Chains A and B, each alone.
Chain A
């Protein structure tokens, strides 16, 4: 009986946590880390939850560790920013049972707002970082991370990247280790980080760094592959695979631990090769340290800090090969778009008609920045729409901010938007916030959150009432409007922006992809179409102008929202099956 299966990097990470005896897992969805939580719920021995944000998730996992069971917090790279407050101090405290952060970086920005490098954060927090190169290692390194965590009394970060998280490879499965719960031990000098205790823990952190640096060279997760010694390469993670493809004859030191670096191993390897390269995606985290030890190495002077690497890139930059590659054809771009039937499009068509600016946030609706809607002027990070909106009002005054609204999704609002809204109430804002409530976390693939009434493990639970929440904060003007009711939405927005008090509009309509009952599509009555183009303005991908100027609706793409019908003044659009 074979126990080899093909697994996504993220599935393998979940499997590793399961096999390591993890009992508590917490996360907030974020591409490319989401499937870790979605996979871990297969294992009934693990309690797993969506927390409202990454800081909460990290603290849940920390609590579990203190209580004495192995725990996991997983997140994308920018999620670690949200969770960095507990990370930095938990690093001082150390663990009771093992605790691992899995953090997914996104070189190439497939689904992120920046290309920050988690390895640099880990160095600042004095937390060890392991970096696997394929699905098998993803599983093995997560298991090893728990050993390290308990041996060195520290949280450990396992760093993955989009390419690893979203690639599948063969993984050999093992049984779960039944780890006995550790007894809870009250120890305030270790677990209460008042200054008087924390300064002693800082000493412990330094001693841990020294001990780990010494031991790092002996860890089995580092690999030396001696070959032709003319070229030596120090690498890790996905870059290792590109090195193996492009430079099969080179000698390679593959680092499994990135922080702290195994100095002795690196110095030995560097001494055995003629020319040393350091190949790492994103920041020169390894390179800067190694060259600071007086070792000569080539890295970022020939390779970029941006995006993903590839074998062809290395063949050219290091192998000196000239690749006779065909030029790509010049073709129109195909950027992502809001789906046909998306309720955000309907809300944005109103904002666009009213020529309003929007302070944006993170979710599918960020696509409202692009043509033809073009209503979002700025977005920074999760929850920032409401707070930047507030800053805009405080800077330029009420008259200026009347031409603005903040837009934020339901999941993002519950993530970090709540604090910003509280701030608006407290500091007497008069601006308008629109919560685009589509009853899910859409962009990451439909995860539940505190207002959906279901948990990650599929249980029915309390359902946060967004309207009641806003009212409880002290906001008088809170209205709920159906996202597809254009007239009601327009009057609600006009009323809200002109009020001398803060307003919240909750635009309600579920994500069209959640709606399993396929609604009847719409069609154009060509004889009634006046070719005015009103229905095309919101940019529904199911609609196009035909050669004679009339509009066509692609029946296979139409999801039956009826926005186009609402916009048509000539009654030229009807739902299939009407009349």
Chain B
């Protein structure tokens, strides 16, 4: 089996680590070799962060390079744009339709690009969701990343039960129900 490459990109503090651990657990439970690579420390302080998930029969390097990603999960528009060129030709971009202005933009030293998702959709297979809005409707804005993951699940070959099982194992016990609801919300899109 060819190795599957998934990148998760976003802004430090958006929960990329939790997301990659869910994906890693899923692949491990299914019996694959798995490697994840994460960013800790300084870069996490509101900076651009990228984590990698690779699974297959045998995985060597833990990173994903330009032109290799089967799926990119972007939690923020500008980060989707920053990393889109990592996608394979037939890769899928799943984006959370949220804007977080970086410091150079807040300081007026750079402009936040217009129509990011519209332009990306012209070039790539893109699915997007305003997950923050949906999460607020569910009553917990923090589960927005699991809503995005629900949308991602539609483009991966694991059953809903497998997803549920790994969510139960990975998220804090008190938040299992809300996270499953969030997953369903994304899955139904």
Contacts and interface: CB of A to CB of B under 8 A. Distances in A.
Do they bind each other? Answer: yes
A61 B104 CA distance: 45
A244 B60 contact: yes
A527 B47 CA distance: 33
Q: Is the interface of A mostly helix, strand, loop or mixed?
A: loop
Contact of A166 (B13, B34, B40, B103): B40
B150 interface: no
B147 interface: no
B106 A539 contact: yes
A292 interface: no
Contact of B46 (A166, A168, A170, A337): A337
Contacts of A329: 81-82, 84-85
A111 interface: yes
Interface band, chain B: 35 or more
A245 B35 CA distance: 14
B47 A32 contact: no
Interface in A367-414: 367, 370-372
B61 interface: yes
A445 B60 contact: no
Given A329-B84, A334-B102, A339 B34 contact: no
Contacts of B101: 541, 544
A331 B82 contact: yes
Given A241-B61, A335-B103, A337-B47, A167 B38 contact: yes
A312 interface: yes
A578 to B, nearest CB: 22
A427 interface: no
B57 to A, nearest CB: 12
Interface residues of A, number: 56
B60 A556 contact: no
A331 B42 contact: no
Contacts of A311: 60-61, 65
A249 to B, nearest CB: 14
Contacts of A536: 106
Given A331-B78, A331-B81, A168 B38 contact: yes
Given A167-B37, A445-B41, A326 B66 contact: yes
B63 A337 contact: no
B134 to A, nearest CB: 14
Interface string A309-344: 011100000000001011111011111111100000
A557 B101 CA distance: 12
B110 interface: yes
A245 to B, nearest CB: 5
B97 interface: no
Interface in B74-88: 78-79, 81-82, 84-85
Interface string B49-61: 0000000000111
A443 interface: yes
Given A311-B65, A329-B84, A6 B45 contact: no
Nearest to A364: B45
Contacts of B79: 334
Nearest to A540: B106
A120 to B, nearest CB: 23
Contacts of A445: 40-41
A75 to B, nearest CB: 14
B28 interface: yes
Nearest to B123: A326
Contacts of B35: 134, 167-169
Nearest to B112: A332
B98 to A, nearest CB: 10
A31 interface: yes
Most B-side CB within 10 Å, residue of A244, A323, A541 = A541
Contacts of A444: 41
B61 A310 contact: yes
A242 B103 contact: no
A543 interface: yes
Contacts of A328: 82, 85
A16 B137 CA distance: 46
B62 A169 contact: yes
Nearest to B65: A312
A241 B60 contact: yes
B62 A241 contact: yes
A543 B106 contact: yes
Given A163-B63, A328-B85, A367 B45 contact: yes
A462 interface: no
Nearest to B103: A337
A339 B40 contact: no
B130 interface: no
B121 interface: no
B107 interface: yes
A539 B25 contact: no
Most B Cβ at <10 Å: residue of A6, A111, A311? A6
B106 A544 contact: yes
A402 B119 CA distance: 53
Interface string B96-131: 000011111111111111000000000000000000
Interface string A1-19: 0001110100000000000
Nearest to B85: A326
Interface in A228-276: 238, 241-242, 244-245
Contacts of B109: 371
Contacts of A310: 61, 63, 65
A541 B46 contact: yes
Contacts of A184: none
B105 A332 contact: yes
A331 B42 CA distance: 21
B186 interface: no
A282 to B, nearest CB: 17
Given A166-B40, A325-B67, A339 B61 contact: no
Interface of B: 11-13, 21, 24-25, 28, 33-48, 59-63, 65-67, 78-79, 81-82, 84-85, 100-113, 132, 141
Report, nearest first, the 4 A-B pairs whose CB atoms are least far apart.
A31-B41, A111-B41, A336-B47, A332-B110
14 contacts: A6-B25, A134-B62, A166-B40, A167-B62, A168-B62, A169-B62, A170-B34, A241-B60, A242-B60, A328-B82, A329-B85, A334-B102, A335-B47, A541-B100
Given A328-B85, A539-B106, 10 more contacts: A6-B36, A110-B39, A166-B38, A168-B36, A245-B61, A333-B48, A364-B45, A371-B107, A539-B107, A541-B100
